[in-house]
Amino acid sequence: MLTSRYILSLTAFLFSISLFSQDLRVEPMNWWIGMKNQELQLLVHADKVGETVPAIKYTGVAIKKIHKAESSNYLFIDLSIAATTKPGSFPILFKKEGKTVFSYNYTLQQRSAAFSQVKGFSSSDVIYLVTPDRFANGDASNDVVSSMREKKADRRNDYGRHGGDIRGMIDHLDYIAGMGYTAIWPTPLLENDMPNSSYHGYAITDYYKVDPRFGTLEEYKELAGKARQKGLKLIFDGVVNHTGSKYWWMNDLPFHDWINYADSMRITNHRRTVNEDPYAATVDKELMVRGWFVSSMPDLNQENPFLANYLIQNSIWWIETLGLAGIRQDTYPYSQKKFLEQWTCKIMKEYPNFSIVGEEWSTNPLIAAYWQKGKPNTTGYNGCMKSTMDFPLQSTLVQALTETESWDKGLVKLYEALANDFVYANPKDLLIFGDNHDMDRVFTQLKKDVSLLQMAMAYLLTIRGIPQVYYGTEILIDNSAKPGDHGLIRTDFPGGWKDDAVNGFTGTGLTGDQLQVQSFLKKLLNWRKNKTVIHEGNTLHFAPIKGVYVYFRYDKKETVMVVLNKNTESTVIDTNRFAEIMKNKKSGTNVPTGEEFSIKREMTVAPRSALIIELK
């Protein structure tokens, strides 16, 4: 029989559970002292928390303002955190009629001095882009998480989860660093609790949670730390334009205008040029930035100042938590411009050496140039993003290598594309690539021609810009069986799963072609690491003639000559034409082979090849 005292204490215990352990959410969950911006806005979510009054007693921390939302289940609290505040924890008490209804233990840590000065990615880097679900399965125990909406892992389904994870990336950092890459960009690792196709990561359902099928926050921190030790910069794939439709707040929005077209979903018109177009109609501009990317991804209204703060602070939280070197921002032109200015500039103010690259999928250099910091724009957009993606060069490179040569086709297109550099504020900060996770594998685009692939890679690794290579390009992963199929584009890296017969990491079972391209890239990537002439040097190029395109990268110390011969037979070139740059250079080193040779007037270039020569 229960004693009355026991009943009393049990009641008190249950009461305290109901008060303190309810689903109380405070975001950001923690913060730092020593940030340049000493203001912080907390989002608080709990049942009727909007009817409470928060209180904090901690020296240096003051509540400046409390904002109620339209939903009574939210509060937004503006804090100021003085520079002199000591690191530590304190309770935030939420009181109603004098009684504490909720309590949250908030922690302020000292900001990392090293992270605040972190050097972003630049033209001295080569980025390895990885789709984590498809790279390596380092922990089979997280393949299926029963509480998640997508119940199965199924490697036979191109659009299912295959089980790759953070542990798999950690396990293969030595391979990535050994190949000569200096940065790694995993596609998003945050929770995507969606009923299907959750593997790709772009339908985030909690901005503060690592998807448990990829691992834990501790593992993400371990990845960041170990990558840093191995000289690999970590890039975060950010998605601030939209979330997944199963985002936790979707059933209880703080404000009606938190989401665009919250009542009657409309899909964006994808007419991205409205951002630049001086004649664009308002109706088209509105639909472009407010329409949903797809019906399962609600569009965020970044004009709501609380949402804007939430997204900016979230990005800073991840940079400071992981010591990130950069952010790749998804669907960049779909966000509201004023927000993009705030988001980029506030991040760059906290981390002056950081790098951000935005995805603007346009093959028009005028559109790509528009978003780069330093570009004067008539529409008044003035963001702080240093890099933009060179989709124009990507499509031109493939055309240049696959078209039959003529006056206006083939290599001349590549030559003329580079002439467009005059529109960019800073061409060397463009992200250049042969493919990425959203388009056919470059090997497929180049019709599975190994020689053309090597020429494409030689070009990307010697021309201006920040090269990015999609995982598995080095072992000729292709999707030629189903062009355009995103699931197959993001195919499993062989050797990433325990029982794989072929192993791209060790070389077991690779074909001669695969081994050759892997070793060619390894050589070139490692050579490029310390070549400031490639990172920062000048460029001089000569109009292509008869299927041969010659360009030079040079600075005060060095000159590198690159010859792309597209012909299917060996071709003789007359080096007298390049006298203005070659001057009296008498010999050179063939970079991929290491072979030394003397420069003669006539130079024979092997069929379908790239010759990269350090001139002496």
Q: Which stretch binds Ca ion (CB under 5 A): 234-242, 484-492, 571-579, 593-601?
A: 234-242
Query: How many C-beta neighbours within 10 Å does residue 42 have?
Result: 24
Of these, 85, 124, 131, 142, which contacts Ca ion (CB under 5 A)? 142
Cβ-based nearer residue to Ca ion, 73 or 241: 241
Q: H helices within 360-505, ranges in order? A: 365-370, 391-402, 411-419, 442-445, 450-460, 486-489
Residue with Cβ nearer Ca ion (267 or 515): 267
CA-based R_g, the chain, Å: 27
**CB of residue 274 to Ca ion, shortest distance in Å:** 12
Cα 474 to Cα 391, 434, 450, 477: the distances in Å are 21, 12, 11, 8
Q: How far is the CB of 220 from Ca ion (least distance, A)?
A: 14
Q: Are 425 and 372 in contact (CB under 8 A)?
A: yes
Distant-in-sequence contacts of 309-314, Cβ < 8 A, 24+ apart: 309/41, 310/27, 310/41, 310/43, 310/207, 311/207, 311/240, 311/339, 311/343, 312/342, 312/343, 312/346, 312/347, 313/28, 313/40, 313/41, 314/27, 314/28, 314/207, 314/208
Query: Closest approach of Cβ 348 to Ca ion, in Å?
Result: 22
Closest CB 136 distance from Ca ion, rounded Å: 9
* Contact flag: residue 143 with Ca ion (CB under 5 A): yes
Residues in contact with 475: Cβ distance below 8 Å, sequence separation at least 6, in sequence order: 493, 494, 504, 510, 514, 517, 518
Q: How far is CA 453 from CA 13, 123, 489, in A?
A: 68, 21, 16
Establish if 115 lies at the interface with Ca ion (CB under 5 A). no
Query: Which DSSP helix (H) or strand (E) runs through 89?
Result: strand 88-96
Q: Which stretch binds Ca ion (CB under 5 A): 49-57, 79-87, 177-185, 331-339?
A: 331-339
Q: Which stretch binds Ca ion (CB under 5 A): 102-110, 129-137, 484-492, 582-590?
A: 129-137
Instruction: Considering the complex, state which of residue 132 and residue 365 has its C-beta at the smaller distance from Ca ion.
Output: 132
Measured CA to CA, the distance from residue 240 to residue 571 in angstroms comes to: 50
Nearest approach, Cβ of residue 292 and Ca ion (Å): 8
C-beta closer to Ca ion: residue 155 or 230: 155
Interacting stretch for Ca ion, rule CB under 5 A, among 14-22, 233-241, 316-324, 438-446?
Answer: 233-241
The number of helix segments (H) and strand segments (E) in the chain equals 17, 26
Residue 241 interacts with Ca ion (CB under 5 A): yes or no: yes
Q: How far apart are the first and last CA of the chain?
A: 96
Shortest distance, position 94 Cβ to Ca ion, whole Å: 33
211, 330, 360, 421: the catalytic one is: 330
Q: Please state, in angstroms and rounded to a whole number, the distance separating the CA atoms of residues 171 and 141.
A: 16
DSSP 3-state of 552:
strand
Select the span of 56-64, 116-124, 143-151, 269-277 touching Ca ion (CB under 5 A).
Answer: 143-151
**Minimum Å distance from CB 542 to Ca ion?**
44
Residue 168: name the closest of 195, 126, 130 by CA: 130
Which residue type occupies 53?
A: V
Non-local (6+) Cβ contacts of 281 within 8 A are none
Catalytic annotation, pick one of 206, 299, 359, 429: 359
Count of other CB atoms within 10 angstroms of residue 583: 10
In the complex, the smallest distance separating the C-beta of residue 295 from Ca ion, rounded to whole angstroms, is 14
Pick between residue 76 and residue 334 the one whose CB is nearest to Ca ion.
334
Q: How far is CA 69 from CA 52, 63, 79, 86, in A?
A: 12, 17, 17, 31
Verify binding: residue 243, Ca ion, rule CB under 5 A. Answer: no
Helical residues (DSSP H) of 149-251, grouped into ranges: 166-171, 173-179, 217-229
> Is residue 574 classed exposed, middle or buried when 0-12, 13-18 and 19+ CB atoms within 10 A define those classes?
exposed
Q: Which of 125, 133, 150, 165 binds Ca ion (CB under 5 A)?
A: 165
383 touches 344 (CB < 8 A): yes
Nearer residue to Ca ion within complex by CB, 163 or 392: 163
Nearest partner of 434 among 460, 472, 461, judged by Cα: 460
CB of 60 to Ca ion, least distance (A): 37
Nearer to Ca ion, 211 or 299 (CB): 299
Q: Which stretch binds Ca ion (CB under 5 A): 134-142, 312-320, 575-583, 606-614?
A: 134-142
Contact string (CB under 5 A) for Ca ion, positions 270-309, x = contact: -------------------x---------x----------
Rounded Cα gap, residues 26 and 44, in angstroms: 5
Binding of Ca ion by 219 (CB under 5 A): no
If one asks whether residue 133 binds Ca ion (CB under 5 A), the answer comes out as no
SS3 115: helix
478 lines the binding site for Ca ion (CB under 5 A):
no
Q: At what angle do helices 305-322 and 337-350 cross, to 10 degrees?
A: 30
Which is nearer to Ca ion, 505 or 551 (by Cβ)?
A: 505
Residue of 137, 243, 342, 394 interacting with Ca ion (CB under 5 A)? 137
Residue 135 binds Ca ion (CB under 5 A): no
Site string for Ca ion, 144-163 (x = CB under 5 A): -------------------x
Quick check: 164 and 135 in contact, CB under 8 A?
Answer: yes
Among the residue ranges 128-136, 330-338, 355-363, 492-500, the one whose residues contact Ca ion (CB under 5 A): 330-338
435 binds Ca ion (CB under 5 A): no
Using rule CB under 5 A, residue 362 touches Ca ion: no
Residue 558 bears catalytic tag: no
For Ca ion, which is the closer residue by CB, 276 or 440? 276
- To the query of whether residue 360 is one of the catalytic residues in this protein, the response is no
Residue 30 or 269 with smaller CB distance to Ca ion: 269
| Size of residue set near Ca ion by CB under 5 A | 10
What is the closest distance, in whole angstroms, from the C-beta atom of residue 335 to Ca ion in the complex?
A: 5
Q: Which residues bind Ca ion (CB under 5 A)?
A: 137, 139, 142-143, 163, 165, 241, 289, 299, 334
* Catalytic residue positions, numbered: 330, 359
